[in-house]
Chains A and B, each alone.
Chain A
Amino acid sequence: MRKFSLLDGLVAPLDRANVDTDAIIPKQFLKSIKRSGFGPNAFDEWRYLDHGEPGMDNSKRPLNKDFVLNQPRYQGAQILLARENFGCGSSREHAPWALDDYGFRVIIAPSYADIFFNNCFKNGLLPIKLAAEKVDVLFKAVEAHNGYKLRVDLERQAITAPDGTEYKFEVDAFRKDCLLNGLDDIGLTLQHVGEIKAFEAKHRAAQPWLFA
């Protein structure tokens, strides 16, 4: 997995709550059997004026100029600022794949849906939970300043704003370690093969019907 430690990134604000994974990547793009290439279709129904289908040349499609990510000032954004319950709904990992492929490395929101939150960490994407009032302050700052950037330091668990304000954030120790070191979950788990086998033998003895 790609490592994540420090980022100075442009921030884009997506000012709505309950953004679901259907909105992040619509179903027709889930037909792909690959992990990559979803970026041009991230937020497809909000981003383009026409109906998108796999295989289209997205560079030729009409853009919805009202959609925030299409505004010139947010081009190249690597940090997505969002509201409550971001990533709710479908478990599709295509959502973090699409955000990652678009160029986002960090998401900042007051809360996330559990499955989406978990999926982000498997893909080198850092979802940060920050209190709603602080997220609100950031929304206002992004609106007010062109080219608004934040520094995200995972090691120190801190976000630094251009004015020097620091926002500390919590992150699970295991997930932090995996991100900082780019660790592969499966490889880590397979270090415990002996324990898994021992558990399995005990489990099989207790509930043999599970193994019939």
Chain B
Amino acid sequence: MSAKTLYDKLWDSHVVRQDADGTALIYIDRQLVHEVTSPQAFEGLKLAQRKPWRTASMLAVPDHNVPTTNRAAGISDPISRLQVETLDANCVEYGVVEFKMNDIRQGIVHVIGPEQGATLPGMTVVCGDSHTSTHGAFAALAHGIGTSEVEHVMATQCLVAKKSKAMLVKVEGALGKGVTAKDIALAVIGKIGTAGGTGYAIEFAGSAIRALSMEGRMTLCNMAIEAGARAGMVAADDTTIAYVKGRPFAPKGGDWDKAVAYWKTLHSDAEAKFDATVELDAAQIKPQVTWGTSPEMVVAVDGRVPDPASATDAVKRGDWERALAYMGLKANTPITEIKIDKVFIGSCTNGRIEDMRAAAAMAKGKKVAANVKLAMVVPGSGLVKQQAEQEGLDKILIAAGFEWRDPGCSMCLAMNDDRLEPGERCAATSNRNFEGRQGQGGRTHLVSPEMAAAAAVAGHFVDISKE
């Protein structure tokens, strides 16, 4: 048998049928559900008088619309409230397990899946959310789908798909001081562009990736979609298995040993061929900061805002000019001279316990700068919040002047009340710096939690690799 990539193995083990032109039916092991992209799918099922194929494969949670303060008062926006209530009602009607807003297990869908062991190596995982790529960190084939596909998976347990090409992103060496998985992700996107991974499933490999914790691997796979790849993945190893062990939905007893034996096969074979390979030297990666309105508009923190005059073509020049105007930045400004108004630490990219620890370590014994109007930390789940509080991280952050909030998507996309006002500039640990993403007219700079916390304290970006 010929050598296989991890992607080949995951794909091959889920093909129900395949037509001559490559159109396949892929079996889906896990569907994660949230309130924004599911109501129309449930409604479609109802209209066609269909039932979910396998309710036990679904796990639901409200995350996008939930408030991050004063939860006991409920959701004040009636439209947001209706959307969450609709999820609640659909889950009751169809018998889907849901962690409701005030359940300690509630959180961002891409944080709670792994946290509960509902994401397992070897699985196919889908969700009506592009950041489903996160779950690929567990050697799972995971990607975002649209609402029509959400309904399709509910009704048939399958997805109509064609196999993607395979890309290997290899990062060798040791990361320098203050450099994180987030910086690897941004450096990769800076190198290949936001469409560089279009049509590909990316496998992240190399010694720098193997050295990452599961939290770091999730951060990296989360951002695969920002490079255009629907799926990102990392081979299973002892780190993966240790993370999964003992979690509520993880296999137990004899199943555990069988599962582990299988999971250990979930890596690319030594001779496996990829359609494209990208290599990065970990030691060369510096803390990254985006300067524009696309994640590919990124430079190292010791760099400068680029000059549109140096863009390679007219379309790109126009995009850069528009981005600079939107961001209120001048070409050639040193990144460390950019002052910020707000700080957002959280999201499915960087809302896990390690991220909370990193932020607290930077903030310890310091104060948020006077020019920073709001620095908020939003844990990715109720359990992340609980653990952080057990470690005393909340006290450190609050003492430094940060706000310590309840879990949800929050200001990553500003569907709830957490948002930027027009013109406000934010250091954010989330994944998208698109125009208006964090609030109409808001200006987003994507960074790691360490960089965001350091910027909160200094009032501007700082090169934490030199601190």
Contact = CB atoms under 8 A, between A and B. Distances in A.
Given A119-B146, A172-B23, A185-B160, A85 B228 contact: yes
A4 to B, nearest CB: 15
B270 interface: no
Interface residues of A, number: 59
A93 interface: yes
B388 to A, nearest CB: 27
Interface string A58-88: 0000000000000000000000000111001
Contacts of A55: 79
A91 B436 contact: no
Contacts of A186: 48, 50, 151-152, 155-156
A164 B363 CA distance: 66
A196 B262 CA distance: 23
A114 interface: yes
Contacts of A54: 79
A49 B81 CA distance: 28
For the side of the interface on B, what is the size category? Answer: 35 or more
A113 B39 contact: no
Interface string B172-188: 00000000000000000
B152 A16 contact: no
Interface string B123-166: 10000111010000000000111111101100111101010100
B424 to A, nearest CB: 14
B449 to A, nearest CB: 22
B228 A88 contact: yes
Contact of B122 (A174, A192, A207): A207
Given A16-B322, A122-B146, A192-B25, A85 B194 contact: yes
Contacts of B226: 89
B316 A17 contact: yes
A31 B157 CA distance: 26
B120 A209 contact: yes
- Which of A28, A123, A211 counts the most B-chain CB atoms under 10 A from its CB? A28
B325 to A, nearest CB: 13
B130 A17 contact: no
A195 B148 contact: no
Nearest to A193: B156
A162 interface: no
B21 A196 contact: no
Contacts of B464: none
Contact of A34 (B40, B132, B198, B434): B40
A5 interface: no
A189 interface: yes
Contacts of B296: 18
Contact of A123 (B21, B128, B148, B160): B148
B124 to A, nearest CB: 10
Which one of A22, A90, A203 has the greatest number of beta carbons of chain B within 10 Å?
A90
A209 B316 contact: no
Given A45-B440, A208-B255, A89 B145 contact: no
A93 B147 contact: yes
B19 A31 contact: no
A22 B293 CA distance: 12
A23 B440 CA distance: 10
A27 B146 contact: no
A173 B415 contact: no
Contact of A172 (B39, B82, B162, B194): B162
B29 interface: yes
B80 A31 contact: yes
Contacts of A145: none
A97 to B, nearest CB: 9
B255 A212 contact: yes
Given A33-B86, A88-B228, 14 more contacts: A22-B413, A31-B80, A33-B39, A84-B315, A89-B432, A91-B128, A91-B129, A118-B149, A119-B149, A185-B148, A185-B152, A196-B158, A207-B262, A209-B251
19 contacts: A17-B315, A18-B195, A23-B435, A23-B436, A33-B39, A35-B40, A45-B440, A85-B195, A85-B198, A85-B228, A89-B432, A91-B144, A114-B199, A122-B146, A122-B148, A185-B152, A189-B158, A192-B25, A196-B53
